[in-house]
Structure 1
Amino acid sequence: MSSAIEEEKEILESIYPDEFKCLDERTFQITQTIDPEESNCSDPPSVIFIATLSDEYPNEIPEMKIRISPPHRWLGEEQMKCLREVVHQNAEECLGMAMVFSLCSILKEEVNTILCKQCEKEEKEIEDRQNREIELENAKFQGTPVTVESFMKWKKDFDIWRDEEIRKENEEKLREALNSTSNSNVKKSILEKKLTGRQLFERNMVKVDDSEDYD
């Protein structure tokens, strides 16, 4: 083990007394717990950073691995790729100096940022879904906007319905008028003229004395 690696190990052990674990003389593991308030996440995972240092360290970037425990729905492959890129970029900027602590710090910061953004995104999706449900519910009571085309179609259908209702009503009145008398002359007059109910009433032909003879 080189002096640079030994020195890095001592630094990490002092900074992370509970989080640091030496997997072998060159490979170090740091497990950081994500704070719910900092990440705006009610069930944040832990982020594990594993670095294997070569004899050229710190003039050579360590072999690095990032793991999430337990796996989290807001930290999928796309987010993990982003984390790896950010950490690698910072490792390049830190060449020539002890860097594991800096990389762990930037990693934790990025995880917090991603979790906050994912939380905001999920809350926005829930809010949008609730608003759509409210709009659909309100639409039931607001009806369909009226246009010239929709009004003309409605009027055409209404006129057909109204004419049919009038026809049925007149037929019913005619039937009642015919049934109200047995006088053949009255029935003949009704059928010939097809008087409306109002005309029958005005002419006193709806109720006719059956005993009256017009022959």
Structure 2
Amino acid sequence: MSRDYEEDQKNELEALESIYFEELEILDEEKRNKFKINVYTEGFREEQDGLCCNLVFTYTPKYPDDKPIVEIEEEINFESNIKQKVEDAINSCITENLGTEMIFSVVGCTQELLNSLFDQIKIEREEQREKKQREIEEIEQKKFEGTIVSVESFMNWRNLFEAEMGIAEKRAKENEANRKLTGRELFLKDQSLLDSDIRFLTENGDSIENVKIDESLFQNMDLEEDLPSGDESDDPDWKPT
């Protein structure tokens, strides 16, 4: 006895309309051999977030012994190779169920795949969110840690700072001036130190004349450089040789 394909298709479509009464739409009312079913991930309609598409089915004359025509349309949030994965899953499901009414199985395997793919997308979203949060926290942490200073980086900073403030130039001038002063001039440079020593002696009842000088301390000094040339010295202790 030959199979009544039209009757089988009619009965299946009626069953599908009762199952997917909100998702199914007949596209050919006269022949009733073409229709689409909206497939989406859990919570898509409430949250407006997830994966969604329409599966457009067309019965072939000898369906279900022959494969139906299935098209994927109006994809939402299909990234990368999601559509290809859905097509592969549908073809595999059709092959496994060839010879029996299979539309319900095709819709079911598609929805299961979309849920699985979207779960992976949510995991990736969370990983990206956590990565971004870590980057923000690292930036904030660096504000408190400051910059690690090495000897080399400190010396570079100090040289630059001194150059900007004129410290290096001032120090160089002072060193140059000190190199030109004789030992006597360096000693007499700080008048406050000299006055302090005299005050200390007089307060203790001593006189400057009674101070004993250890001449050995000055043996290595070139005193001639300390003495002014000529006879017009203002130093009362100076005596010509």
Task: Map 1:39-54 to 2 at 5 A.
Answer: 43-44=49-50, 46-54=52-60
Q: Is the 8 A contact 1:50 1:66 kept in 2?
A: yes
SS at match of 2:8: helix
Higher radius of gyration, 1 or 2: 2
| Structure 1 position 46, deviation (Å) | 4.2
Structure with higher RCO (Cα < 8 A, 6+ apart): 1
Asked if 1:21 corresponds to 2:25, the answer is yes
Q: Deviations over 1:81-108 (max 9, x none)?
A: 2111111111111111110001111111
Q: Is the 8 A contact 1:40 1:116 kept in 2?
A: no
Matched residues, number = 187
**Residues 168 and 48 (structure 1 numbering): CA distance in 2 closer, same or farther, change over 3 Å?**
same
| Structure 1 position 152, deviation (Å) | 3.8
SS at match of 2:60: coil
Q: Equivalent pairs: percent with the same residue?
A: 22
Asked if 1:135 corresponds to 2:138, the answer is yes
User: What's the TM-score, normalizing by structure 2?
Assistant: 0.61
User: What's the TM-score, normalizing by structure 1?
Assistant: 0.68
Could you list the runs of 5+ residues in structure 1 that have no partner in the other structure?
176-190, 206-212
Asked if 1:192 corresponds to 2:202, the answer is no
Q: Deviations over 1:173-196 (max 9, x none)?
A: x99xxxxxxxxxxxxxxx633639
Distance 1:77 1:13 in 2: 32
Q: Is the 8 A contact 2:51 2:114 kept in 1?
A: no
**Residues 135 and 192 (structure 1 numbering): CA distance in 2 closer, same or farther, change over 3 Å?**
same
The match for 1:7 is 11
Q: Deviations over 1:120-151 (max 9, x none)?
A: 211211210111121122123223445xxx42
Distance 1:152 1:77 in 2: 50
Q: Deviations over 1:48-94 (max 9, x none)?
A: 2111111121122211112346x33xx22521121111111111111
Amino acid at match of 1:56: K
**Residues 49 and 198 (structure 1 numbering): CA distance in 2 closer, same or farther, change over 3 Å?**
farther
Q: Is the 8 A contact 1:49 1:64 kept in 2?
A: yes
| Structure 1 position 44, deviation (Å) | 3.6
